[in-house]
C-alpha cells in the first residue's frame, strides 16, 4: 500500500526534523537482465530532530532488508508499515541507514527502464514529481525538507551515468548484483528538494559544450553543457541549435534575476516514454524525446521546444533555488516558469512571437479548463499528495501565467523583476509560500497586491464581458451614439 502524505503530516514532520544530507547508492548493474524486476537501494540519511520524537521516512519498495537507526538494528517487521518506515525514539542528531530493493518502472514514475526495440539497448531515467523519489530510495518526501544528496550509481560496463552533481569518475566494483559493474560517483548537490533529484543511466549518446560568460558581479564563469539521447536518435539531436538556445538562456536569466546560475553544470537529456514535456532537475534537465525531430521540424515545433527549454531553465531559480513549502503553491514555480518561457523567448531568442503562440494555444487551454466543473483556484487547496498529482493542469500552468502577465502590467515590469531579484536573494535554497512573494512584491511597488491576489489567485471562473449599445438594433445601420462594456463575474475583478 502506498500512503498519500497529507499536508498536516508534512507540517508536523517539518516541525520535528531538519535533514542534513543523504548518501544514496542505487544498484543498476543487473538492469540488462529482462528477468530482473528490482534494483538494490541503500541510503544513509543524517538529520536532527526533537529529542524523543517519533517520525517516519517514505519508501515504496519491493523489500526492506535492514533498518538501522543510530547504530541500532530495528525490527523490519515492526517498523515497516506499507510505504512508510516508522522511526521511534529519535535523538537530537540521527543517522538512519535503510537497505532494500525497489521496482523498476514501466509507467514513468520513479526509475523507468526502457528497452529500445531497434537495438535491444536498455535506457534508464528517473521522474519524481510530485513524490516518486520514494520509489527509488528511502526519503523524507516533501518539498520543504531540503538536503544535500550524494549519489553513487552502479551500472553495467560501458554505460554512461549522470545525476544532478558533477560526475567524479567511475571504477569497477564487485558490490553490485553483477560483479565487475561500474561504480559512478557524483559530487554532492546543493540543498534541494527530493523531487528534483535525478539519475540517468544507459548507453546514451552524449554531446558536450561549454557556456562562458559573466555572472551578475562581472566575474567570468564557465558552465559545462551536455546533451543525451538514445543512440538510435543521435543523428536527430540537433545539438547546435539546442546548445545555442541554452547559451542564450544562460546569458539572459542570471542578468535578469541578478543571481548567478547556482547548480554548476547544465545538462539536458531527451528520454523515451516520458510522461511529461520536461522536468527541471537542477544540473540534469529531462525532456521527452518528442523534442527531437528525425523527419525534420516546422518552425512551430522548434519554437515549442525553445519555449520548453526556457521554461525549464527559469525553474533553476523559480522552483529549484526557491521552492514552494507545500503543493498549495505549485503555481509559485509552474505559473512563473510558464510566463518566463515565453518572456525569455521574446527577449533572448529568435522566437519573438512567443506571446502570440501563448495567447492562441496556452491561454485558450486555460479558458477551457476554467469553465469546467473541475476548475480550481490558482492557489489550490492541496490536502495530500494525490491532490497534488491532479494539480498539474491548465489552471496552474496557463491561467497562472496569464494572470502573472496581467500582474506585470499592473505593477510595472521593472517593479516585478525587482521583486523577483529580492525574492531570490532573501530565500535562496529555502522554501516559501504566496505571502513571501507578496511581501517582496509589496516592497517593490505601490499597488495593493494582496487585494489583487485575493481576486485573481483565490477565485475561479472566466469573467463574461458584454457590450451594450443603447438605442441601436441589428437593423440600424448607423453607428451607435455610445456603448458600455460590462463584466459579469463573482467576484467582480478589476
Residue-level pLDDT at 298? 97
Read off the DSSP letter of residue 458.
Answer: S
pLDDT at 476 > cutoff 70:
no
Q: Cα Rg for the chain, rounded, in angstroms? A: 24
Kindly state whether residues 352 and 429 are assigned to the same domain.
yes
Read off the DSSP letter of residue 147.
Answer: B
- Mean pLDDT, the chain, integer: 95
Break the chain down into helix, strand, coil percent, rounded to 5: 30, 30, 35
Kindly state whether residues 103 and 81 are assigned to the same domain.
yes
First to last CA, the chain: 48
Sign of the Cα pseudo-torsion (450, 400, 429, 261, in order): negative
Residue-level pLDDT at 491? 83
Kindly state whether residues 32 and 179 are assigned to the same domain.
yes
Kindly state whether residues 188 and 75 are assigned to the same domain.
yes
Mean pLDDT of 121-150: 98
- Catalogue the active-site residues: 312
Q: What does the alpha-carbon distance between residue 159 and residue 181 come to, in Å, rounded to a whole number?
A: 10
99 forms bridges with which residues in the sheet?
42, 66
Residue-level pLDDT at 489? 86
pLDDT band (50, 70, 90) for residue 164: very high
pLDDT at 169 > cutoff 80:
yes
pLDDT band (50, 70, 90) for residue 442: very high
Residue-level pLDDT at 475? 64
- 3 part of a folded domain: no
pLDDT at 478 > cutoff 90:
no
Residue-level pLDDT at 285? 98
pLDDT at 1 > cutoff 90:
no
pLDDT at 463 > cutoff 80:
yes
In this predicted model, what pLDDT tens digit does every residue of 22-78 receive, in sequence order? 999 999 999 999 999 999 999 999 999 999 999 999 999 999 999 999 999 999 999
pLDDT band (50, 70, 90) for residue 474: low
- 139 part of a folded domain: yes
pLDDT at 477 > cutoff 80:
no
- 471 part of a folded domain: no
Beta strands in 355-449 (DSSP E): 430-432
Q: Output b/e per residue, 372-402; b: 16+ Cβ within 10 A.
A: eeebbbbbbebebbebbbebebbbbbbbbbb
Q: What does the alpha-carbon distance between residue 203 and residue 115 come to, in Å, rounded to a whole number?
A: 11
Cα 298 to the center of its chain, rounded Å: 28
Q: What does the alpha-carbon distance between residue 198 and residue 219 come to, in Å, rounded to a whole number?
A: 30
Which residue segment(s) compose the domain that 190 sits in? 19-199
Mean pLDDT of 430-457: 96
pLDDT band (50, 70, 90) for residue 472: low
**Which DSSP string do the residues of 169-208 spell out, in sequence order?**
EEEEESSSSSTTEEEEEEPPP-SB-GGG--EEEES-EEEE
pLDDT at 460 > cutoff 80:
yes
Mapped onto helix, strand or coil, the DSSP state of residue 332 is helix
| Strand-by-strand arrangement of the 160-163 sheet | 110-115, 122-127, 199-202, 160-163
User: Nearest 5°: CA angle at 201, between 196 and 204?
Assistant: 115
pLDDT band (50, 70, 90) for residue 473: low
- 150 part of a folded domain: yes
Kindly state whether residues 164 and 240 are assigned to the same domain.
no
Kindly state whether residues 59 and 192 are assigned to the same domain.
yes
Kindly state whether residues 309 and 375 are assigned to the same domain.
no
Q: What is the CATH number of the domain that holds 424?
A: 1.10.390.10
Kindly state whether residues 55 and 190 are assigned to the same domain.
yes
In this predicted model, what pLDDT tens digit does every residue of 267-310 receive, in sequence order? 999 999 999 999 999 999 999 999 999 999 999 999 999 999 99
Q: Comparing 85-94, 181-190, 472-481, 485-494, which segment has the lowest mean pLDDT?
A: 472-481
Kindly state whether residues 336 and 456 are assigned to the same domain.
yes
Q: What does the alpha-carbon distance between residue 396 and residue 419 come to, in Å, rounded to a whole number?
A: 21
Mapped onto helix, strand or coil, the DSSP state of residue 43 is strand
Kindly state whether residues 251 and 374 are assigned to the same domain.
no
Cα 314 to the center of its chain, rounded Å: 11
Residue-level pLDDT at 481? 75
- 7 part of a folded domain: no
pLDDT at 321 > cutoff 70:
yes
Three cell numbers, residue 370: 476554467
- 145 part of a folded domain: yes
Q: What is the CATH number of the domain that holds 34?
A: 2.60.40.1730
- 340 part of a folded domain: yes
Which of 179, 199, 219 is the C-terminal boundary of a domain?
199
Cβ atoms 124, 39 nearer than 8 A: no
Overall number of domains in the chain: 3
Q: What does the alpha-carbon distance between residue 479 and residue 111 come to, in Å, rounded to a whole number?
A: 65
Cβ atoms 109, 125 nearer than 8 A: no
In this predicted model, what pLDDT tens digit does every residue of 6-32 receive, in sequence order? 999 999 999 999 999 999 999 999 999
**Closest of 153, 121, 192, 140 to residue 39, by C-alpha:** 153
Q: What does the alpha-carbon distance between residue 205 and residue 3 come to, in Å, rounded to a whole number?
A: 38
pLDDT at 250 > cutoff 90:
yes
Place of cell 535503510: 98
270: exposed, middle or buried (Cβ count in 10 Å: 0-12, 13-18, 19+): buried
Kindly state whether residues 180 and 50 are assigned to the same domain.
yes
Which of 142, 168, 199 is the C-terminal boundary of a domain?
199
Kindly state whether residues 166 and 107 are assigned to the same domain.
yes
Which of 276, 301, 316 is the C-terminal boundary of a domain?
316
Name the strand (E) or helix (H) holding 385.
helix 385-389
Q: What does the alpha-carbon distance between residue 63 and residue 46 come to, in Å, rounded to a whole number?
A: 22
β-strands 84-87, 80-81 pairing = antiparallel
Task: Based on DSSP, count helices (H) and strands (E) in the chain, helices before strands.
Answer: 12, 24
Cβ atoms 191, 262 nearer than 8 A: no
Cβ atoms 482, 467 nearer than 8 A: no
- 431 part of a folded domain: yes
Three cell numbers, residue 313: 531553465
Amino acid at each position: 500500500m502506498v500512503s498519500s502524505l497529507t499536508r498536516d503530516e508534512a507540517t508536523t514532520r517539518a516541525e520535528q526534523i531538519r535533514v542534513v544530507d543523504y548518501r544514496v547508492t542505487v544498484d543498476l548493474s543487473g538492469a540488462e537482465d529482462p528477468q530482473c524486476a528490482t534494483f538494490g537501494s541503500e541510503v544513509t540519511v543524517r538529520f536532527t530532530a526533537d529529542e524523543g520524537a517519533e517520525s517516519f521516512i517514505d519508501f515504496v519498495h519491493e523489500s526492506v532488508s535492514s533498518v538501522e537507526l543510530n547504530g541500532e538494528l530495528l525490527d523490519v517487521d515492526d517498523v515497516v508499515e506499507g510505504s512508510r518506515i516508522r522511526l521511534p525514539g529519535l535523538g537530537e542528531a540521527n543517522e538512519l541507514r535503510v537497505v532494500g530493493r525497489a521496482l523498476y518502472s514501466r509507467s514513468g514514475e520513479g526509475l523507468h527502464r526502457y528497452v529500445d526495440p531497434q537495438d535491444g539497448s536498455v535506457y534508464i531515467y528517473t521522474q519524481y514529481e510530485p513524490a516518486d523519489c520514494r520509489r527509488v530510495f528511502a526519503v523524507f518526501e516533501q518539498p520543504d525538507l531540503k538536503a544535500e544528496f550524494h549519489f553513487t550509481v552502479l551500472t553495467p560496463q560501458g554505460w554512461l551515468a549522470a545525476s544532478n552533481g558533477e560526475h567524479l569518475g567511475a571504477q569497477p566494483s564487485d558490490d553490485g548484483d553483477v560483479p565487475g559493474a561500474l561504480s559512478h560517483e557524483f559530487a554532492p548537490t546543493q540543498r534541494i528538494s527530493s523531487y528534483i533529484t535525478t539519475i540517468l543511466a544507459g548507453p546514451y549518446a552524449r554531446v558536450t559544450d561549454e557556456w562562458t560568460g559573466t555572472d551578475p558581479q562581472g566575474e567570468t564563469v564557465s558552465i559545462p553543457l551536455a546533451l543525451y539521447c538514445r543512440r538510435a536518435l543521435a543523428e536527430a539531436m540537433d545539438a547546435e541549435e539546442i546548445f545555442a538556445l541554452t547559451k542564450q538562456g544562460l546569458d539572459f536569466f542570471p542578468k535578469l534575476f541578478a543571481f548567478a546560475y547556482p547548480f554548476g553544470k547544465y545538462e539536458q537529456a531527451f528520454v523515451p516514454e516520458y510522461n511529461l514535456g520536461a522536468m527541471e532537475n537542477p544540473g540534469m534537465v529531462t525532456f521527452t524525446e518528442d523534442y527531437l525531430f528525425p523527419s525534420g521540424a516546422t518552425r512551430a515545433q522548434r519554437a515549442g521546444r525553445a519555449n520548453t527549454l526556457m521554461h525549464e531553465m527559469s525553474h533553476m531559480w523559480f522552483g529549484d533555488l526557491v521552492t514552494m513549502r507545500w503543493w498549495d503553491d505549485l503555481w509559485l514555480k509552474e505559473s512563473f516558469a510558464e510566463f518566463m518561457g515565453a518572456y525569455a523567448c521574446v527577449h533572448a531568442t529568435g522566437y519573438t512571437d512567443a506571446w502570440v503562440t501563448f495567447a492562441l494555444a496556452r491561454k485558450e487551454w486555460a479558458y477551457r479548463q476554467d469553465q469546467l466543473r473541475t476548475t480550481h483556484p490558482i492557489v489550490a487547496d492541496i490536502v495530500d499528495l494525490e491532490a497534488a498529482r491532479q494539480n498539474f493542469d491548465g489552471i496552474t500552468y496557463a491561467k497562472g501565467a496569464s494572470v502573472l502577465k496581467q500582474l506585470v502590467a499592473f505593477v510595472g515590469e521593472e517593479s516585478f523583476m525587482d521583486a523577483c531579484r529580492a525574492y531570490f536573494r532573501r530565500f535562496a535554497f529555502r522554501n516559501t509560500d504566496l505571502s513571501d512573494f507578496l511581501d517582496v512584491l509589496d516592497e517593490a511597488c505601490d499597488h495593493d497586491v494582496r487585494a489583487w491576489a485575493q481576486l485573481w489567485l483565490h477565485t475561479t471562473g472566466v469573467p463574461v464581458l458584454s457590450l451594450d449599445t443603447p438605442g441601436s438594433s441589428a437593423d440600424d445601420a448607423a453607428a451607435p451614439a455610445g456603448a458600455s462594456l460590462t463584466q459579469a463575474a463573482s467576484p467582480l475583478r478589476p
